[in-house]
Chain A
Amino acid sequence: MAKILLVDDEKEFVEMLTVRLQKSGGHEVLQAFDGEEGLRLAQEKKPDVILLDIMMPKMDGREAIRRLKAEAKTAAIPIIILTASVSTKSMQEFAKLGAFDFIIKPFSSDQLIAKIKTALGDLAG
């Protein structure tokens, strides 16, 4: 069981995914609906993994990663980007920003859970 911070402005999506992560993965889920809130929760609660949307109000995902990576307290937390579209350029950009992985919406929950597992394992190893 891990502590997962889920940051996405789509409330229904967050709710739905929370149930999945709790019931299928047995994880504890922290919810945030914009970048700022996500950043605050990350600093306060120090999650094991962050699932981060890119297109969000207030602070978008890119800026949130930059801040998370710049802050000593949160720099080491693996970030999985939840994105609706990906290009070669954006993939390189995600890697450069220091994201651990990304997953393209729509995705199957199995895929996501597997990625979370890898991120956690990576952290443990």
Chain B
Amino acid sequence: MASQLRILIIEDSADDALLMVKELERSGYEPISERVETSEGLQTALDRQTWDIVLSDYVLPHFDVKAAINIVRGKDPNIPFILISGKIGEEKVTAALKFGAQAYVSKDHLTTLVPIIEQEITDARLRRNNKRNEQLLVESEQRYRAVVTHLPDIVMIHQAGKIVFLNQSLPQISGYQKEELIGKNLIEFIAPKDRKKVVEMVARRAAGETIDDYEADLVMKDGTLRPFLIRGTMIDYLGQKASLAVLIDIYEREKEEKVKDEFLSIVSHELRTPLEITREGISQVIDGLHGQITEAQNKPLATALKNCDRLGHLIENLLDLSRLEAGKIVPRQEIFDIVKLALETTTTLKARIDTKGLSLKGDFPTEPLYILADKNEISEVLSNFVTNAVKFTSKGSITVSVEKKEEKVECAVTDTGIGISKDDLPKLFRKFQQFARVPGSGEKGVGLGLSIAKRLVEINGGQIWAESEPNKGSRFAFSLPLTQAK
């Protein structure tokens, strides 16, 4: 199929223009052409539609070629402008090309017209694409620059022991001028106490290890220390290995945590002291320190005392959970036999809690199973499971079991209680979730025990879960990796 070509011809001779059109038609084109003679005509034609090419005579009676080129370029800098003329001499041709025409074709050699037009159209397309690409590149560069510059976090590229790129954040936060930082080693700005850690982390990352975010203090220009969370990755920067680091200012966060800690400490003190006084007062009366009391007087006081203990336990749980959430509790891990621990915990619980006539059984392997964990925390989780089971079981049994499962040990408490509905199962380990597993049982907590248990198991590297069938019973379990005996 013939290709269409939109040609604007600046020519005072209609015959010459026709010759050009014919030449194109001979080569298989279907030219759409318009001939103009004046600058106004040229302007109007350019405004009306886009053109693939402009062919122009050199000698124009109504205006000159320079003016014509100017008008065309003003409209579209990339449209090919081809000069077609009789013999005009190299000088004029050169001048016209310099001024912005793309090519010259002699009217005596119109056979070269088509190849030149094709060449010029291809070139123009390339020029347009290049221009577009350049534009895209500039836009992309601007976009990234805007993101990196305005990011409140510090973005830094470190290469061959030097800071080679830095956004505005570090200068803004630290008080240093950008020039005082570029070219320096970041380590110079790390607080001396954290230098060893940072050097080690950087080396490990450079060796290909995946490193978690870590904290380090930076020394500000005024000498004060400010905490940052450092997150880094190895990149290729201008053809060489470099470290890209993002430093997040955690000064405010740390301050908030301190306030929270203080608040917790005050709350715990302020809540416990009146509780302690109340408890002691009641207990002195019960103990007969202020004279003998009757059975009838003892009963409400005993209830009051029991509830003081409940409140104390609740405060304890709230504080534990806050500390766990703040990462303040670091497990004191040791290698121990979990079978022995489960046996001991079960025995202690049997003696301590009122099992309401339920049988509390143990199902333990004969050989010891060693794990690396915090003994007290694991015991607390087991106690929580058993206490819950007692609360929600009215008849039958509660079984504490320990079992080796491949590389793990699974510890579970199974009851024959009322169970938990499928909908409630996933909510079990969330904070402040309570389920009336035993309607009207009067057994209430605030729903913190299991969320504490979950965190305790997790900080010891284990998993926790529950299975249940309503009216048949529940099974609460956790698993921890087995380890070798000491």
> A residues bordering B, Cβ < 8 Å?
10, 12-13, 16-17, 19-20, 23-24, 55, 84-85, 87-88, 105-109
Contact = CB atoms under 8 A, between A and B. Distances in A.
Contacts of B289: 19-20, 23-24
A79 to B, nearest CB: 19
A55 B269 contact: yes
Contacts of B283: 108-109
A19 B287 CA distance: 12
A55 B268 CA distance: 12
B332 interface: yes
A95 to B, nearest CB: 14
Contacts of A19: 284, 289
Given A20-B289, A24-B289, A88-B332, A106 B276 contact: yes
Interface of B: 264-265, 268-269, 272-273, 275-277, 279-281, 283-284, 287, 289, 308, 312, 319, 323, 328-330, 332
B273 A105 contact: yes
B268 A85 contact: yes
Given A10-B277, A108-B283, A84 B332 contact: no
A103 to B, nearest CB: 10
Nearest to A107: B276
A17 B328 contact: no
17 contacts: A10-B273, A13-B277, A16-B280, A17-B280, A19-B284, A23-B289, A24-B287, A84-B272, A84-B273, A85-B264, A85-B265, A85-B269, A87-B323, A88-B329, A106-B308, A108-B283, A109-B287
Contact of B277 (A12, A87, A88): A12
Given A88-B332, A105-B273, A106-B275, A20 B268 contact: no
A85 B323 CA distance: 11
A88 B323 CA distance: 12
Contacts of A16: 277, 280-281, 284
Contacts of B323: 87
Contact of A84 (B269, B277, B281): B269
A105 B276 contact: yes
Contacts of A55: 269
Nearest to B305: A108
Enumerate the 6 nearest inter-chain pairs by beta-carbon distance, A residue then B residue, closest first: A106-B276, A84-B269, A23-B289, A16-B280, A105-B272, A84-B272
B444 to A, nearest CB: 20
Contacts of A88: 329-330, 332
Contacts of A84: 265, 268-269, 272-273
Contacts of B277: 10, 12-13, 16
Contacts of B276: 13, 105-107
Contacts of A107: 276
Given A16-B277, A88-B332, 9 more contacts: A17-B280, A19-B284, A84-B265, A84-B269, A84-B273, A87-B328, A105-B273, A108-B283, A109-B283
A52 to B, nearest CB: 15
A88 B329 CA distance: 8
B258 to A, nearest CB: 14
A84 B267 CA distance: 10
Contacts of B280: 13, 16-17, 20, 109
B265 to A, nearest CB: 6
B264 to A, nearest CB: 8
Contacts of A106: 272, 275-276, 279, 308, 312
Nearest to B313: A106
Contacts of B319: 85
A17 B280 CA distance: 7
Contacts of A87: 323, 328-329
